[in-house]
């Protein structure tokens, strides 16, 4: 017996020795690779740790108060570090590193500490070095390149990482954008930096303000992409009310003195702009007792959007708002100053020249039991933005306008009050489309599009609602409709987290299901076999901060030769329109029942 015990102890010592030796070797290899040496962690498995960290990540993103404290950020970062330490071989490890990189990157926009930016780069480097074949490896390199280009101002190093993406990951989703930046930077900049050559300052081209009910939207138009940061502070000047939100734009200047924009809608009192220092422009919003705010940017052209949410107690009743008809000059001034809802809408030529709303008595023709009266239809793209283009040259903007117009006419004939964001071939920025819907106090919002794919065999019909997603196909569709890259959608998804718990997201999901099921059913009854791609969620900017249930319909693939041909046939378009109408009626009846 004692011999057996002695052998057992010897085996245990051997096991312990081998374990310690393996850990030591792993540590040395990690140090040689320039990555931290993590020891084993006991307790829950990596998957449990990861999901718990993700939940806390969402909580952090949805709380402006938590984001003010550095310790809160570091706590979430530490939780993702535990995932990597627990099992570096698990499928959650690269995801954890990617989230660590994002967290440090976002923390830098608040702390402006170079060490946070360096920690972000280290996390992304570790991901790519340890998991070079992971689908996030190219994303990590792209993130590093963007950090060096936009935040460190080191275009030479950024160019090296963009070039590396093309060399190591030529077929990745990062490659197209990397190729663009290699062309831009490599074609205009020398291989060695020349500090004596100063980059020209960007210019603030204008500021617009929209006010609608319980939110105010401010858009800052900038000549080029800039690095910016936003902060919320209590007012120190007793002559100014409540708090203020300010956004600093680095490497930016104002071309002339910009007078304050008086808003006074109960949420934002005034918008001011000034030159903070030689290289930084500052835009300040004097706000009252707001509920929340978000700051993000869109591209092509570059602009910064500030959405402020709160309870608007000063908005006049609809009868008071409508007042006299403003002149064209007055309307333009009022758009800039963010005055009444109806006057801002009248400034849009496409809205102003539409058929007048159906008289009140005609509303009796709306089917009984439908709790919907006002609908905003948004034909996607338009003007200088053709959208996707089919094999035979058919442009998405023309398809969406035809279907949108047919849908509007059908709904108006039934007694609905319909507003179109555009009723002709004009360009309307994404942020203005949502503003039109909100200022109209619409009951529902429908954005019409035609899908596109690099594969001509892709076909089918899909209905989207606003949400975050990790589905690659949905991300590509959202990136195309947002006129951005999938890389840029990550920041947008963080902003979306504070919307996930709102009723409008849930209502939009129900609305999307009703539309999709009726679309497919109606196409089948008309003997069309268009594939049902189902209901999906994605971060479409045109749906963000809409105050009503909102959906985006990808009617079919214009890049598919067969569906491109179908989308040019009036019978097929009518089948789509009739399916959408049936979906609206079904959803409207659900709302009516819920109200009762």
Calpha distance 147→161 (Å, rounded): 11
Reading the block at residue 350, the tokens are 């496409």
Return the CATH fold of 13-188: 1.25.40
Higher pLDDT, 584 or 491: 584
Q: What is the predicted pLDDT for the residue at 198? A: 52
Calpha distance 138→564 (Å, rounded): 33
**SS3 for 186?**
helix
Kindly report, residue by residue over 228-239, the tens digit of the pLDDT.
888 888 765 555
Reading the block at residue 28, the tokens are 């040395």
User: Is the Cβ–Cβ distance between 398 and 425 less than 8 Å?
Assistant: yes
Beta bridge partners of 271: 261, 285
Backbone angles phi, psi at 573, to 5 degrees: -65, -40
**SS3 for 251?**
coil
Q: Give the number of other Cβ atoms within 10 Å of residue 503's Cβ.
A: 8
Residue 542, classified by CB atoms within 10 Å of its CB into exposed (0-12), middle (13-18) or buried (19+), is buried
Kindly report, residue by residue over 140-163, the tens digit of the pLDDT.
999 999 998 888 878 888 888 988
DSSP type of residue 558:
T
Q: What is the predicted pLDDT for the residue at 345? A: 36
Instruction: Give CATH for domain 366-595.
Output: 3.40.630.40
Beta bridge partners of 449: 554
CA distance readout (Å), 219 to 67, 274, 335: 23, 16, 12
Domain span(s) for CATH 1.25.40.10 in the chain: 13-188
Q: What is the predicted pLDDT for the residue at 402? A: 97
Residue 563 in this model has a pLDDT that exceeds 90: yes
Reading the block at residue 345, the tokens are 């809408």
Backbone angles phi, psi at 302, to 5 degrees: -70, 130
Q: Which helix (H) or strand (E) holds 173?
A: none
Q: Give the number of other Cβ atoms within 10 Å of residue 88's Cβ.
A: 20
Q: What is the predicted pLDDT for the residue at 363? A: 41
202-312 belongs to CATH 2.60.40.420: no
Q: Under the phi-then-psi rule, with left for phi > 0, alpha for psi from -120 to 50, and beta for the rest, what region is 338?
A: left
Calpha distance 492→222 (Å, rounded): 19
Q: What is the predicted pLDDT for the residue at 337? A: 34
Domain span(s) for CATH 3.40.630.40 in the chain: 366-595
Contacts of 200 (CB under 8 A, 6+ apart): none
Beta bridge partners of 261: 271
Helix-, strand-, coil-residue percentages of the chain, each rounded to 5: 50, 20, 30
Domain span(s) for CATH 2.60.40.3500 in the chain: 202-312
In this prediction the pTM is 0.57
Q: What is the predicted pLDDT for the residue at 309? A: 81
**SS3 for 501?**
coil
- Percentage above 90 pLDDT, the chain: 36
Backbone angles phi, psi at 390, to 5 degrees: -80, 175
Kindly report, residue by residue over 374-427, the tens digit of the pLDDT.
999 999 999 988 988 899 999 999 999 999 999 999 999 999 999 999 999 998
Computed on alpha carbons and rounded to an integer, the radius of gyration of the chain in Å comes to 27
Among 333, 336, 400, 360, residue whose Cα is nearest residue 542: 400
Reading the block at residue 505, the tokens are 């997201």
| pLDDT band (50, 70, 90) for residue 134 | very high
Helix axes 570-595 and 396-413, enclosed angle (nearest 10): 50
Residue 511 in this model has a pLDDT that exceeds 90: yes
Can you give the length of the chain in residues? 596
Q: What is the predicted pLDDT for the residue at 426? A: 92
């Amino acid at each position: 017996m004692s011999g057996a015990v002695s052998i057992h102890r010897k085996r245990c010592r051997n096991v312990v020795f081998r374990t310690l030796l393996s850990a030591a070797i792993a540590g040395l290899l990690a140090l040689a690779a320039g990555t931290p040496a993590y020891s084993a962690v006991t307790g829950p498995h990596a998957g449990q740790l990861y999901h718990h960290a993700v939940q806390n990540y969402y909580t952090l993103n949805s709380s402006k108060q938590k984001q003010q404290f550095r310790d809160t950020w570091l706590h979430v970062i530490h939780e993702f570090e535990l995932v990597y330490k627990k099992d570096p071989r698990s499928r959650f490890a690269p995801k954890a590193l990617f989230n660590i990189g994002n967290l440090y990157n976002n923390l830098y926009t608040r702390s402006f500490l170079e060490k946070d930016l360096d920690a972000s780069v280290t996390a992304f480097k570790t991901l790519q070095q340890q998991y070079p074949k992971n689908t996030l490896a190219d994303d990590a390199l792209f993130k590093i390149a963007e950090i060096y280009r936009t935040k460190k101002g080191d275009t030479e190093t950024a160019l090296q990482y963009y070039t590396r993406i093309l060399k190591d990951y030529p077929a990745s989703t990062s490659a197209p954008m990397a190729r663009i930046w290699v062309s831009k930077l490599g074609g205009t900049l020398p291989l060695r930096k020349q500090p004596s050559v100063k980059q020209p300052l960007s210019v603030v081209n204008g500021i617009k303000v929209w006010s609608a009910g319980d939110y105010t939207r401010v858009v800052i138009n900038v000549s080029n992409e800039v690095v910016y940061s936003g902060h919320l502070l209590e007012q120190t000047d007793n002559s100014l009310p409540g708090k203020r939100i300010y956004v600093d734009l680095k490497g930016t200047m104002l071309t002339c003195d910009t007078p304050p924009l008086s808003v006074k809608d109960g949420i934002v009192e005034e918008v001011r702009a000034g030159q903070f220092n030689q290289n930084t422009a500052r835009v300040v919003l004097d706000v009252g007792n707001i509920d929340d705010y978000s700051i993000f940017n869109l591209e092509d052209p570059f602009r910064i959007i500030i959405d402020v949410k709160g309870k608007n107690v000063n908005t006049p009743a609809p009868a008071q708002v409508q007042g006299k008809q403003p002149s064209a000059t007055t309307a333009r001034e009022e758009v800039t100053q963010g005055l009444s809802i109806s006057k801002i809408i009248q400034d849009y030529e496409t809205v102003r020249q539409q058929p007048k709303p159906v008289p009140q008595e005609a509303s009796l023709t709306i089917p009984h039991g439908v709790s919907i009266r006002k609908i905003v239809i948004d034909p996607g793209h338009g003007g200088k933005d053709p959208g996707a283009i089919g094999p035979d040259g058919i442009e998405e903007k023309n398809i969406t306008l035809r279907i949108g117009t047919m849908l509007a006419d059908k709904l108006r004939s039934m007694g609905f009050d319909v507003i179109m964001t555009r009723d002709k071939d004009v360009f309307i920025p994404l942020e203005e489309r949502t503003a039109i819907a909100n200022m109209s106090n619409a009951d529902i919002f429908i954005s019409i599009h035609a899908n596109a794919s690099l594969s001509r065999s892709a076909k089918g019909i899909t209905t989207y609602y606003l949400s975050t997603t990790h589905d690659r196909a949905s991300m590509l569709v959202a990136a195309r409709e947002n006129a951005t890259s999938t890389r840029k959608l990550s920041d947008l998804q963080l902003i979306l987290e504070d919307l996930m718990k709102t009723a409008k997201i849930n209502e939009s999901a129900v609305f999307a299901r009703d539309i999709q099921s009726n679309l497919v059913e109606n196409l089948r009854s008309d003997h069309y076999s268009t594939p049902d791609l189902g209901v999906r969620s994605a971060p479409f900017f045109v749906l963000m901060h809409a105050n009503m249930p909102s959906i985006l319909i990808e009617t079919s693939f214009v890049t598919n030769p067969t569906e491109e041909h179908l989308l040019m046939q009036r019978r097929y378009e009518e089948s789509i329109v009739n399916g959408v109408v049936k979906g609206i009626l079904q959803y409207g009846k659900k709302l009516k029942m819920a109200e009762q």
